[in-house]
């Protein structure tokens, strides 16, 4: 986990589920083959309905038609982000697309754990609704140490809930690296 994450916002609504993040028809690609792995990035967020893409404007695809990575680094969501099935492919696809963090009012528990355990994206929760105050394309800076989000287009700053104990897992890179560093499992 980087101490500072900067980039463009991609804004979504409530209850974005894992099938919207990476539709089931795209789960056929290898996670280890570099050429097939890129396809997870290409199809990340491709199941999100057009009226939810890049709220409030709508119909803003996360990844351009011929690209494997997105221009958006930070996703801003509403409540219950990552609900649905327990597929770890969802945060993996987001990472492959270049997303580094998701800030939402709340997360589905399994999506949150998959994000942290795999070190795919940094999941921050906020006690206030911000997906109506940030627009897709706004320039953001996320200070992961302070838990502070700055919107450079509006000048607003938002304090986020602390990551707590999961911060150490994210700093290590994933749950297995954390366990190795903590001496909980044997190093390679």
* pLDDT of the residue at 55: 72
The proportion of the chain whose per-residue pLDDT surpasses 70, expressed as a percent, equals 99
The whole-angstrom separation of Cα 73 and Cα 70 is: 7
Residue 116's pLDDT is 98
Question: Which domains, ranges and CATH numbers included, belong to the chain?
Answer: 4-162 (3.20.19.10)
Does residue 186 register a pLDDT over 90? no
Q: What is the pTM of this model?
A: 0.94
Q: For the residues 53-71, what does the mean pLDDT come to? A: 87
The two tokens of residue 171 are 């700093």
Q: What pLDDT does residue 173 have?
A: 97
Q: Report how far apart, in Å, the C-alpha atoms of 176 and of each of 101, 114, 166, 167 are.
A: 20, 13, 13, 14
CB 159 within 8 A of CB 167: no
Report the largest interatomic distance among the alpha carbons of the chain, rounded to a whole angstrom: 50
pLDDT of residue 161: 98
pLDDT at 188 > cutoff 80: no
pLDDT digits (tens, 9 = 90+) for 144-168: 999 999 999 999 999 999 999 999 9
DSSP count for the chain of H helices, then E strands: 6, 7
Which has more confidence, 55 or 178?
Answer: 178
Tell me what pLDDT residue 87 has: 84
> Mean of the per-residue pLDDT values for the chain?
95
What mean pLDDT do residues 132-142 have? Answer: 97
Going edge to edge, which strands form the sheet with 148-151?
A: 122-125, 101-104, 72-76, 4-11, 139-143, 148-151, 157-159
| Interval 163-176 mean pLDDT | 96
| The pLDDT value given to residue 96 | 97
In terms of average pLDDT, the best of 44-48, 58-62, 154-158 is: 154-158
- In this prediction, residue 187 has a pLDDT band, given cuts at 50, 70 and 90, of confident
47 three-state secondary structure: coil
Q: Encoding tokens for residue 58?
A: 């709508």
- Model pLDDT, residue 44: 96
């Amino acid at each position: 986990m980087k101490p500072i994450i900067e980039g463009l916002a991609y804004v979504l609504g409530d209850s974005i589920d894992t099938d919207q993040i990476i539709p089931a028809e795209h789960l056929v690609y290898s996670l280890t083959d570099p050429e097939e792995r890129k396809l997870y990035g290409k199809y990340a967020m491709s199941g999100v309905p057009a009226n939810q893409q890049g709220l409030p404007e709508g119909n803003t695809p996360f990844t351009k038609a011929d690209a494997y990575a997105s221009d958006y680094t930070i996703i801003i969501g509403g409540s219950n982000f990552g609900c649905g099935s327990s597929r770890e492919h969802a945060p993996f696809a987001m990472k492959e697309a270049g997303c580094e963090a998701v800030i939402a009012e709340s997360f589905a528990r399994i999506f949150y754990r998959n994000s942290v355990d795999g070190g795919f994206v940094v999941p921050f929760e906020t006690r206030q609704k911000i997906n109506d105050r940030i627009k897709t394309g706004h320039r953001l800076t996320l200070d992961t140490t302070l838990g502070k989000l700055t919107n450079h287009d509006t000048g607003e700053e938002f304090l986020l809930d602390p990551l707590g104990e999961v911060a150490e897992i994210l700093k290590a890179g994933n749950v297995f690296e954390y366990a190795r560093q903590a001496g909980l499992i044997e190093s390679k």
